Amino acid sequence: GAGVSQSPRYKVTKRGQDVALRCDPISGHVSLYWYRQALGQGPEFLTYFNYEAQQDKSGLPNDRFSAERPEGSISTLTIQRTEQRDSAMYRCASSLSGPRTDTQYFGPGTRLTVL
Amino acid sequence: GQNIDQPTEMTATEGAIVQINCTYQTSGFNGLFWYQQHAGEAPTFLSYNVLDGLEEKGRFSSFLSRSKGYSYLLLKELQMKDSASYLCALTNRDDKIIFGKGTRLHILP
């Protein structure tokens, strides 16, 4: 079916507000990844899921960042008490199986701006 | 720890050949990916190497030397549409994935 989708595509928020970013992976893909990408840089790994299990969250910058994938499909990345340094492109990707050997398909990203 | 190095920018001429190098350090190396990313768009898969040697796919080829911690992406018969960033990414046996900062390739007519 369709590729990876993310919403919203753009989010502008004020410092201190909470934001929730949504990712809808390709149907049937087991693994889902969250990345943050600064302009002119490669994707920076945040966390990934196999089905609903969060396998690795070592890339989350601090405890204001959290992610869930409760039914093994759609995932939400939540940033609490946003700060200006959180402004970035947040990308989601999915793969048929795990990250070791499988191609990742990236979504269009959510551009987050914290004022 | 894990580390990936690739040149920040390269310039080449339409119709020519360009080689983009990637060196890496990691424990428990598993495989290496190359992705292409046009400005303002999402990365898209180009190639995956797990064994030493050259993998050819049309105008694009990717090479891996596990013993040297080295890979390159070779682009032949360059076209203007090949202007993009090229991302080297590695995975290890702990299912860690890390992307390099990317190489911005400029194609001149």
pLDDT tens readout for residues A88-113: 999 999 999 888 788 999 999 999 99
3-state class of B80 per DSSP?
Answer: helix
The alpha carbon of residue B54 and the mean position of all alpha carbons in its chain are separated, in whole angstroms, by 13
Q: What gap in Å lies between CA A29 and CA A26, rounded to an integer? A: 6
Of A41, A98, A108, the CB nearest to B95: A98
At residue B94, the pLDDT reads 81
Interface test with A, best of B30, B97, B98, B99 (most A CBs within 10 A): B97
Q: Span B73-88, mean pLDDT?
A: 98
Q: What is the mean pLDDT of residues B66-78?
A: 97
Secondary structure (3-state) at A28: coil
Strand partners, B92: B29
Task: Supply B83's token pair.
Answer: 């202007």
B66 touches chain A (CB under 8 A): no
Closest to A42 (Cβ–Cβ): which among B45, B48, B102? B102
Contacts of B93 in chain A (CB under 8 A): 100
Region label for A4, one of left (φ > 0), alpha (ψ between -120 and 50) or beta (otherwise) = beta
Pairwise CA distance, residues A32 & A36, whole Å: 14
Task: Give the best residue of A10, A39, A101, A111 to mutate against chain B (max B CB count within 10 A).
Answer: A101
Please determine, for residue A76, whether its predicted confidence score (pLDDT) is greater than 90: yes
Whether B99 and A42 lie within 8 Å, measured CB to CB: yes
- Are the beta carbons of B102 and A41 separated by less than 8 Å? yes
Q: How buried is A85 (Cβ within 10 angstroms: 0-12 exposed, 13-18 middle, 19+ buried)? A: exposed
**C-alpha distance from B109 to closest chain A C-alpha (Å):** 23
Rounded to an integer, the average pLDDT of A4-27 is 98
Nearest to B46 by CA among B10, B13, B22: B22
Give the β-pairing of B29-37 and B53-57. Answer: unpaired
Whether residue A40 and residue B96 make contact (CB cut-off 8 A), yes or no, is no
Mark yes or no for CB contact B45/A104 under 8 Å.
yes
Q: How confident is the model at residue A42 (pLDDT cuts 50, 70, 90)?
A: very high
Q: At CA A47, angle to CA A43 and CA A50, rounded to 5?
A: 120
Quick check: B104 pLDDT over 70? yes
Partner-chain contact B95 A105, CB within 8 Å: no
- Residue A1 has a pLDDT of 53
B102 part of contact set with chain A, CB < 8 Å: yes
Which residues of chain B are within 8 Å of residue A91 when distances are taken between CB atoms?
A: 42-43
Q: B30 to chain A, minimum CA–CA distance in Å?
A: 7
Q: Could you read off the pLDDT of B31-58 as tens digits, one per residue?
A: 999 999 999 999 999 999 999 999 999 9
